[in-house]
Amino acid sequence: MTPFGERLRELRAERGMTQKQMAQAIGVSPAYLSALEHGKRGVPRWILVQDIIACLNIIWDEADELQRLAMHSAPKVTIDTTALSPKATELANLLASGIDVLGEEALEDLRLRLDAAIRRAGR
């Protein structure tokens, strides 16, 4: 499951909406919505995220968070380090080879540290 899929499922459940109801409201098949929630589809198109936001009647911070999660929910990620430093290549490979054994606490710690480093770098 992706962060977007997890949050989408939570928001839909909070509103007592079935996948079938939501799928019909946003113009997709229930199978597609299920695949999106389970992380079996790629990053949703921007317009679909907007339709979901409207369907769930969410605003401001919650809508921004859902859009951010959508952008960071590609279930298959490739990192090209060709033009980067050896340290960048090592980090990408270390993450790829060890992410499956890390617990939720370790993953959250790494995510927060990386997010902070990226912000400090000005992105």
- Answer whether residue 75 shows pLDDT above 90: no
pLDDT band at 80 (very low <50, low <70, confident <90, very high): very high
Per this entry, what is the length of the chain? 123
Q: How confident is the model over 31-60, as pLDDT tens digits?
A: 999 999 999 998 899 999 999 999 999 999
Rounded distance between C-alpha atoms, residue 12 and residue 17, angstroms = 5
The angle subtended at Cα 92 by Cα 86 and Cα 97, nearest 5°, is 125
Q: Is 62 exposed, middle or buried (0-12, 13-18, 19+ CB in 10 A)?
A: middle
Mean pLDDT of 2-27: 96
Residue-level pLDDT at 86 = 96
Contact 22, 36 (CB under 8 A): no
Rounded to a whole number of angstroms, the CA Rg of the chain reads: 17
Q: Choose the weakest-confidence range: 7-11, 27-31, 40-44.
A: 40-44
Contact 98, 40 (CB under 8 A): no
Mean pLDDT of 64-89: 93
Residue-level pLDDT at 119 = 92
- Answer whether residue 84 shows pLDDT above 90: yes
Residue-level pLDDT at 53 = 97
C-alpha closest to that of 65 among 8, 123, 1:
8
Q: Is 81 exposed, middle or buried (0-12, 13-18, 19+ CB in 10 A)?
A: middle
Residue-level pLDDT at 123 = 73
Residue-level pLDDT at 58 = 94
What are the start-end ranges of the E strands in 1-123?
Answer: none
Mean per-residue pLDDT over the chain, rounded: 94
